[in-house]
Amino acid sequence: MQLELGRIKITDVQFGEKTEVAKGSLYVNQAELKKLLEQDPNIACVDLDLARPGEDVRIIPVKDVIEPRVKVEGPGGVFPGFIHKVDTAGSGRTHVLSGVAVVTTGKIVGFQEGIIDMCGPGAEHSPFARTLNVVVKITPVEGLAQHKHEQAVRLAGLKAAAYLGEAGRNVTPDELKLFKLDSFLENAAQYPDLPKIAYLYMLQTQGLLHDTYVYGVDAKKMLPSLISPMEVMDGAIVSGNCVSACDKNTTYHHQNNPVVEQLFARHGRELCFLGVVITNENVTLADKERSSSYAAKLVKMIGADGAIITEEGFGNPDTDLVMNCRKLEELGVKTVLITDEYAGRDGGSQALADTVPQADAVVSVGNANELITLPPCMKVIGDLEAAEIIAGGFAGTLAPDGGLTVEIQAIIGSTCELGFSSLRGDGF
């Protein structure tokens, strides 16, 4: 299996008469996109806005972020199981509108959506302060249940990203990169002297709006599974969760997983990248034991010497993280964990809810409890009143002038446990 990603570098986004890419700019037909999204009977109305890096704009509360893409060669299309039929992703050629993101917002769905500031101190903590954002504000029909509301917002974001991605179908990419990975046996034979590394990719699946989808299937209904890293890069995994903003893996994060990219970059030189095992984060102890044992078995079966493990979320998922670590280490597979910390505002509390002695190689991506003051912005897209409800906010978060004092937990992507963030810490 091999995948070509053609990145079309976009330097500006504007509303225009036609949705197209011209001279490095993306033009969006506002009326056409609005009409497309308002076809959903669960949506009362859609408002579209633009937010560019450096602008005095705050987006709150953010549900998801998605990168616009289009499949130009090969089977299926983008976001299989949602926008297109379920063909296996990860092969052929996909064009990417690089530098552009669809951001969904509107009336709050749960309690854990977050903030994107396009300038100021908050912008230093979110990668989406550096993207050209097409913001989709959704107002649901009256009385819509929360799970239906989440579904409507999720589908609207994917539809918008697919619609915008079509503008890149016939555009020559600025960069074309090939990703290819042979079978486990072929890889091992080709690089016999290099350490064989697998990636154990934990997906948020705790239910009650804490869900992730693989080919349109809620991952909490799955046993751990082998998946090609090219499938991950090609949109097979979609976010549907409302976990704390700081370590929510948005759909954009899944599309651009830096662990996958870095393992590819080192494949054949420093290590032999065997592949990816996806696993879920469960609620009951029995389910945690089942999934961690099954995931460890798969990693061992493909012949891994070592594994990188990433989690999504905190607290309850920390137990899944350390179970995965312990069981792999007991099978002789060395592990490195990537996680954030909830160590209290002073940094003096226990960083993880659980630990084991085998967890002796841990990369921290920051303490989500640290406080930050965000000055008021001239323009707010969404609902500023949500600031005192979202995780990381509290009574008194919202100042009279519109400024905010929050934990960085409230900022989208600030402590992303894939390493897709600006914060770094020493290993535990």
Catalytic center residues? 242
Residue 162's SS3 state is helix
Which segments within 282-400 are labelled E, that is strand? 306-310, 334-341, 362-367, 371-374, 379-382
Distances (CA, A) of 146 to 43, 160, 199, 306, 396: 13, 21, 33, 41, 26
- The pair of structure tokens assigned to 397 is 């978060």
SS3 149: helix
Q: How many CB atoms lie within 10 A of CB 183?
A: 12
Grouping H, G, I as helix, E, B as strand and the rest as coil, residue 214 is strand
DSSP state of 172: P
Distance separating alpha carbons of residues 151 and 173, to the nearest angstrom: 32
Here the tokens at position 27 are 């033009």
216: left (phi over 0), alpha (psi -120 to 50) or beta: left
Q: CB atoms < 10 A from the CB of 109, how many?
A: 22
Give the C-alpha separation, 299 to 328, whole Å: 8
Which of 92, 263, 295, 75 shows the shortest CA–CA distance to 187? 263
| Residue in the block written with tokens 């998801």 | 64
Question: In this structure, what token pair is assigned to residue 87?
Answer: 């063909």
